[in-house]
């Protein structure tokens, strides 16, 4: 029994340690997988995706996307714009010579745009600042059902793979945000608090109940042995 409790405590310490050491800077993802060349941009022909409602107006200062080389790797400007009106809220630049896209092996490239915090919907745009066209990786249309993509202001039938990010934070710190987002597409009674309670039950209450069951089994076995004697 004592060994079980020791293992339980070690497991809890390990869970906390992993939650503190594993870090992520992801604020929001459109859920679009980098699967194919969704469109291409050229000078004076930007591509955008929106409207994007950032959960609870969370702050982000970086934008991730996946470009692919056609003939060259020119610089690409990333703009965060107001979905209504097109005002530029922040921007950053991916310098030329960036790493080319390799299917199933290339992660997104992340560009610093400066802090953005707004509860209003935004759109993310890519502007070619060179002379050569650039492909933008995304997925077939409807991958992001609440947003849509455009090229030079005209709708296209694919979605672009974007993520919003900020400085890395421990996963343990992000648990309230994870629970809040998980509750969005569930029944009304499934709130973030319900998820947190369930997590506590799984991590703490379930092992305790198992320990009590083992203790009772040991007691019953001891009693049975005594009666046989």
Q: Peptide bond preceding 51: is omega within 30 degrees of 0, i.e. cis? A: yes
**Residues near 227 by Cβ (< 8 Å), separated by ≥ 6?**
none
CA dist., res. 141 & res. 138, Å (int):
9
Which residue ranges form the domains of the chain, and what is each CATH number? 1-22+171-220 (no CATH), 26-168 (2.60.120)
pLDDT in tens, the chain (229 residues): 565 555 555 555 555 555 445 555 788 999 899 999 999 999 999 999 999 999 888 899 999 999 999 999 999 999 999 999 999 999 999 999 999 998 877 789 999 999 999 999 999 999 999 999 999 999 987 778 889 999 999 999 999 999 999 976 555 555 566 555 554 445 555 566 666 677 666 666 666 666 666 667 666 666 656 666 5
All residues at 6 or more sequence positions from 115 whose CB lies less than 8 Å from its CB, including other chains: 59, 60, 61, 90
For 6, the token pair is 């020791």
Phi, psi of 179 (to 5 degrees): -65, -40
């Amino acid at each position: 029994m004592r060994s079980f409790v020791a293992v339980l405590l070690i497991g809890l310490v390990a869970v906390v340690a992993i939650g503190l050491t594993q870090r992520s800077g992801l604020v929001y993802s459109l859920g679009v997988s980098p699967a194919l060349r969704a469109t291409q941009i050229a000078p004076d022909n930007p591509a955008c995706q929106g409207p994007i409602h950032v959960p609870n107006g969370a702050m982000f200062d970086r934008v991730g996307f996946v470009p692919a080389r056609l003939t060259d790797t020119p610089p690409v400007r990333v703009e965060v714009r107001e979905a209504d009106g097109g005002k530029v809220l922040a921007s950053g630049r991916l310098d030329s010579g960036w790493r080319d896209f390799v299917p199933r092996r290339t992660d997104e490239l992340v560009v610093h745009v400066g802090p953005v915090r707004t509860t209003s919907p935004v759109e993310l745009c890519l502007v070619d600042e060179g002379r050569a066209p650039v492909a933008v990786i995304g997925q077939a249309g409807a991958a992001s059902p609440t947003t849509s993509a455009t090229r030079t202001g005209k709708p296209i039938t694919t979605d672009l793979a974007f993520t919003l990010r900020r400085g890395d934070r421990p996963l343990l710190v992000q648990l309230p945000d994870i629970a809040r987002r998980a509750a969005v597409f569930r029944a009304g009674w499934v709130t973030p608090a319900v998820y947190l309670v369930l997590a506590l039950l799984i991590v703490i209450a379930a092992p305790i109940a198992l320990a009590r069951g083992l203790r009772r089994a040991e007691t019953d076995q001891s009693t049975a042995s005594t009666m046989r004697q």
